[in-house]
């Protein structure tokens, strides 16, 4: 009989099978702990923590600083077999996935290069598929021992600077585990910093200090004790609460995320979550975990207690009434919010709530309301369709986190770049979980430019149209999209640009072995690129964030003059070609 340990207790394999199913979906803490080693041979410093709040998702691992350098050796943290390799201009860049004997998996991302045994197979895959972008199961059973060199740190993909992104996953690789549970911790005695406290009235009869709108108050923290600048907050009705908070660590400028949050009313625990693990399918529920409307309007993330009906996150340990608190009887209550990091450093915010059932709403000067031509109730649990002669919106079930009153308004446009009316499709502060279908009828679109038409959204901050994508078909430009915004039909007829960095007069001399280009597109974006030497595919690595293409000429290229050709195509099939002679 096989047995496994958990917090000093022992369980049989049969018991473990039951525990695993509970752990994955109920977020209990279970881990078959390998003796994990160090992926780097430098002192640990973290630039990001597990579960940290990112754009539209939680952070799935931890980020090791690499002393602002690339090329540091990266090692396997445990015995295992290389199972998957990814090479991408975005995302994780160059990444390795190693499967371990007990079913666990570790991931090493943003690498600059791999060890030769992997590089050879990867290069063969590049040329077999004639593609820089790769995502494949490693064809050979390449095994590593703990401490074996597997690659070198880098800054590839969507990395914002040199570092190693490291993940630990459980069976099947579908569930991200908090690496701090496995010993990946550093000295930390600094408590989290709470900067904002928010009160959210829920329902038309709820009031906070006489208002029906959310109340945001600055928080001052001195050590572990945090406070607001009001002695009491007058409330009546039903409410959610939230905080904006970050974590800091010793001798480091990094801004990290929280590990746990607990909410008490009169010392009774009412709400709690903990970031021990999370399925990758849940990562986008980040947009329900925070006050998304506040993020949309201010750029700041408030982690609130309200668990929206469509929020299926498994991190919650305690929820009463979906994180809504009722205060209907006169009296005084103490609200206590505790925010902690993995080292158990805890900041405590105490707020005194005065329930007043005689509180009257304060009459405010009415703000200028946005124009609304149509308003319709949409349930989040079913498919919803809105349609006029000029637009069709089809939202699938569970694309919304809660029921909404869908709003729509249309304006005409005098902008010569716009080939439709301007469509205000609901509110940008309402998050969308999965794609919905958006179809817009163009106006005045020349017949010969139908294949260049796409849907664009209005970037309020930068005051410009941003290409989203789409195709013209059956009289509409259609695109699957995952946000509400202001939309219109635009066209893209401008081809991408190619700028050689190190080539003079379209000739590459014998002494030059590396070709570097900057490629860019002013609207729809780069879709593909293809380089050839003597009409045979040539590998060039693409870094999307720097818009750089770089390729190394094979030293075995025969002497003589060779034809180099680079073709770059944008998403609307506009194309640019550059040609040069390579002299060997």
What is the homologous superfamily of the domain 33-182 according to CATH? Glucose Permease (Domain IIA) (2.70.70.10)
Q: Is the distance from CB of 76 to CB of 110 less than 8 angstroms?
A: no
Distance CA 61, CA 169 (A): 9
Burial of 85 (0-12, 13-18, 19+ CB in 10 A): buried
| Each residue's pLDDT tens digit, 512-521 | 999 999 999 9
Q: Is the distance from CB of 63 to CB of 47 less than 8 angstroms?
A: yes
CATH 2.60.220.30 in the chain: give the residue spans: 374-491
Distance CA 15, CA 155 (A): 43
Q: Is the distance from CB of 440 to CB of 490 less than 8 angstroms?
A: no
H or E segment at 20?
helix 13-26
- Sequence-ordered strand ranges (E) for 153-229: 163-169, 175-177, 193-208, 215-218, 220-222, 225-227
Instruction: Decide if pLDDT at 369 tops 80.
Output: no
H or E segment at 123?
helix 116-129
| Each residue's pLDDT tens digit, 152-195 | 999 999 999 999 999 999 977 899 999 999 999 999 999 999 99
- Sequence-ordered strand ranges (E) for 209-300: 215-218, 220-222, 225-227, 233-246, 260-265, 268-274, 277-279
Rg (CA), the chain: 27
The predicted pLDDT at position 102 comes to 81
- Cα 326 to chain centroid, rounded: 33
| Each residue's pLDDT tens digit, 520-573 | 999 999 999 999 999 999 999 999 999 999 999 999 999 999 999 999 999 999
The residue behind tokens 């206590």 is 336
What CATH number belongs to 193-355?
2.70.50
HSE-CB of 33 using CA atoms within 13 angstroms:
14
Name the β-bridge partners of 529: 568
What are φ and ψ of residue 477, in 5° steps?
-95, 125
CATH 2.60.40.1220 in the chain: give the residue spans: 497-583
Burial of 18 (0-12, 13-18, 19+ CB in 10 A): exposed
Q: Is the distance from CB of 423 to CB of 415 less than 8 angstroms?
A: no
| Each residue's pLDDT tens digit, 410-442 | 999 999 999 999 999 999 999 999 999 999 999
Reported as a pLDDT band with limits 50, 70 and 90, residue 32 is: very low
Which of the residue ranges 80-84, 99-103, 458-462 would you say has the lowest mean pLDDT? 99-103
- Cα 352 to chain centroid, rounded: 36
For the chain, what is the total number of helices (H) and then of strands (E)?
4, 49
For range 377-386, the mean pLDDT = 98
Distance CA 490, CA 454 (A): 6
Tell me the three state secondary structure of residue 434.
coil
Distance CA 26, CA 33 (A): 20
CATH 2.70.50 in the chain: give the residue spans: 193-355
| Each residue's pLDDT tens digit, 214-255 | 999 999 999 999 999 999 999 999 999 999 999 999 877 889
Averaged pLDDT score across all residues of the chain: 93
The class level of CATH for 497-583 reads mainly beta
- Over the range 36-51, which residues count as b (16 or more CB within 10 Å of their CB) and which as e? beebbeeeebbbbbbb
Neighbours of 56 (CB within 10 A): 14
Tell me the three state secondary structure of residue 475.
coil
What CATH number belongs to 374-491?
2.60.220.30
CATH 2.70.70.10 in the chain: give the residue spans: 33-182
Tell me the three state secondary structure of residue 12.
strand
């Amino acid at each position: 009989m096989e047995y496994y340990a958990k917090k000093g207790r022992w369980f049989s394999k049969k018991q473990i099978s039951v525990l695993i199913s509970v752990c994955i979906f109920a977020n209990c803490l279970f881990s078959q702990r390998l003796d994990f080693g160090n992926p780097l041979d430098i002192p640990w410093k973290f630039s990001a923590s597990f579960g940290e709040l990112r754009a539209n998702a939680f952070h799935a691992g931890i980020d090791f600083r690499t002393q602002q350098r690339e090329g540091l050796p990266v090692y396997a943290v445990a015995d295992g077999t290389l199972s998957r390799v990814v090479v991408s201009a975005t995302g994780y860049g160059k990444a390795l996935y190693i499967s371990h004997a007990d079913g666990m998996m570790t991931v090493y991302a943003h690498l600059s290069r791999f060890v030769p045994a992997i590089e050879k197979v990867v290069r063969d895959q590049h040329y077999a598929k004639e593609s820089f972008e790769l995502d494949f199961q490693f064809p050979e059973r390449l095994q590593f021992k703990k401490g074996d060199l597997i690659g070198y740190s880098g800054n590839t993909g969507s990395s914002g600077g040199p570092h190693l992104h490291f993940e630990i996953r459980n069976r099947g690789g579908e569930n991200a585990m908090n690496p701090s549970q496995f010993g990946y911790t550093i000295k930390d005695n600094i408590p989290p910093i709470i900067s904002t406290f928010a009160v959210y009235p829920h329902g038309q009869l709820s009031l906070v200090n006489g208002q029906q709108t959310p109340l945001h108050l600055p928080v001052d923290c001195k050590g572990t004790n945090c406070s607001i600048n009001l002695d009491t907050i007058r409330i009546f009705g039903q409410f959610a609460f939230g905080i904006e908070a970050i974590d800091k660590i010793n001798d480091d400028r990094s801004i990290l995320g929280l590990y746990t949050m607990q909410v008490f009313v009169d010392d009774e625990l009412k709400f709690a979550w903990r970031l021990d693990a999370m399925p990758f399918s849940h990562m986008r529920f980040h947009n329900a975990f925070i006050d998304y409307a506040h993020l949309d309007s201010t750029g700041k993330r408030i982690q609130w207690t309200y668990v929206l009906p469509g929020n299926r996150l498994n991190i919650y340990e305690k929820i009463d009434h979906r994180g809504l608190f009722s205060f209907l009887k006169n009296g005084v209550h103490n609200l206590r919010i505790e925010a902690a990091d993995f080292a158990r450093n805890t900041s405590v915010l105490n707020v005194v709530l005065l329930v007043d059932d005689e509180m009257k709403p304060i009459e405010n000067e009415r703000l200028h309301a946005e124009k609304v031509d149509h308003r319709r109730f949409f349930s989040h649990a079913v498919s919803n369709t809105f349609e006029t002669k000029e637009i069709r919106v089809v939202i699938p079930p569970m694309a919304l986190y809660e029921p909404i009153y869908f709003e729509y308004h249309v304006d005409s446009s005098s902008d010569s770049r716009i080939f439709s009316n301007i469509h205000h499709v609901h509110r940008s502060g309402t998050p969308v979980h999965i794609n919905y279908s958006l179809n817009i009828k163009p106006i005045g679109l020349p017949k010969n430019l139908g294949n260049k038409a796409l849907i664009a959204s209005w970037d309020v901050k930068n005051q410009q149209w941003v290409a989203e994508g789409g195709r013209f078909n059956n009289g509409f430009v259609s695109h699957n999209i995952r946000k509400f915004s202001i939309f219109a039909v635009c066209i893209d007829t401008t081809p991408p640009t190619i700028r050689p960095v190190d080539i003079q007069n379209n000739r590459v001399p014998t002494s030059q072995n590396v070709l570097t280009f900057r490629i860019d597109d002013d609207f729809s974006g780069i879709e593909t690129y293809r380089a050839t030497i003597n009409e045979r595919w040539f590998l060039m690595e693409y870094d999307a964030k720097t818009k750089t293409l770089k390729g190394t000429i094979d030293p075995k290229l025969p002497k003589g003059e060779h034809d180099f050709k680079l073709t770059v195509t944008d998403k609307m099939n506009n194309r640019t070609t550059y040609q040069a002679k390579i002299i060997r």
